Homo-oligomer: A and B are copies of this chain.
Amino acid sequence: MNPMTADNLRSAYGGESQAHMRYKAWGTKAKEEGFENVARLFNAISYAEEVHATNHFKALKDEKGDFSVNSGAVFGLGSTSENLQGAIDGENFEVEQMYPAYLKVAEMQNEKSAIRSMKFAIEAEKTHSRLFSKAKEAVDQGKDIKIGDVHVCEICGYTVEGELPEKCPICGVKEDKFKTFNK
């Protein structure tokens, strides 16, 4: 793999791994504050970030060894409203800045496995940003978010609440490839 794309994938892997972890911590906090559905949403999206991290790691399977990895990450364990703002900011950074830049380079270098795992991620992050924004609106009114079951595609990390889709709109797999986080 071209070193620049490999570097970008490692950076994205580091970012996804850290997002996976902070959403778990923020989910615990939401539960403590009594926002059960927000907690469930954090857990579901934490799993989606695991899908992204794992896809990037697999795309890097032959790039073996120790590396110094530089990643953007959001910190702070505040109120659930603050944590949701951090989540929205992190998702939007990935959608607007990080993945578009990395994808341009990967496309220029024709790195197919990197393009695939990054495209899955950027499309899924858009669904995360929307869900977190909806959660923040509710929490800022002192309410829990009203959502049904949350379904996460195990292949691309697409996340949706309510009915289980017949087919993933991002990667095309069938409904049996979704992991459901129910009440």
Q: Verify if A101 is at the interface (C-beta below 8 Å from B).
A: no
Which chain B residues border A90 with CB–CB below 8 Å? 66
Which residues 27-52 in A have Cβ within 8 Å of B in the complex?
50
Q: Verify if A18 is at the interface (C-beta below 8 Å from B).
A: yes
- Residue on B nearest A10 in the bound complex, by CB: B75
Beta-carbon contact of A25 and B54 below 8 Å? yes
Count, chain A residues at interface, CB 8 A? 40
Q: How far is the CB of A88 from chain B (nearest CB, A)?
A: 12
Q: Verify if A70 is at the interface (C-beta below 8 Å from B).
A: yes
Q: How many copies does the complex hold?
A: 2
Which chain B residues border A65 with CB–CB below 8 Å? 74-76
- A22 vs B73: C-alpha distance when bound (angstroms): 18
Per-position 1/0 for A75-100, Cβ under 8 A of B = 11110001000100110010000000
Q: Which of A16, A64, A78, A86 has the most CB of B within 10 A?
A: A64
Which chain B residues border A16 with CB–CB below 8 Å? 21
Beta-carbon contact of A18 and B13 below 8 Å? yes
- Residue on B nearest A13 in the bound complex, by CB: B18
Which chain B residues border A10 with CB–CB below 8 Å? 73, 75
Q: Verify if A157 is at the interface (C-beta below 8 Å from B).
A: no
Pull 9 A–B residue pairs with CB atoms less than 8 Å apart, ordered by A.
A10-B73, A13-B73, A14-B71, A17-B18, A21-B50, A64-B76, A65-B75, A66-B89, A67-B75
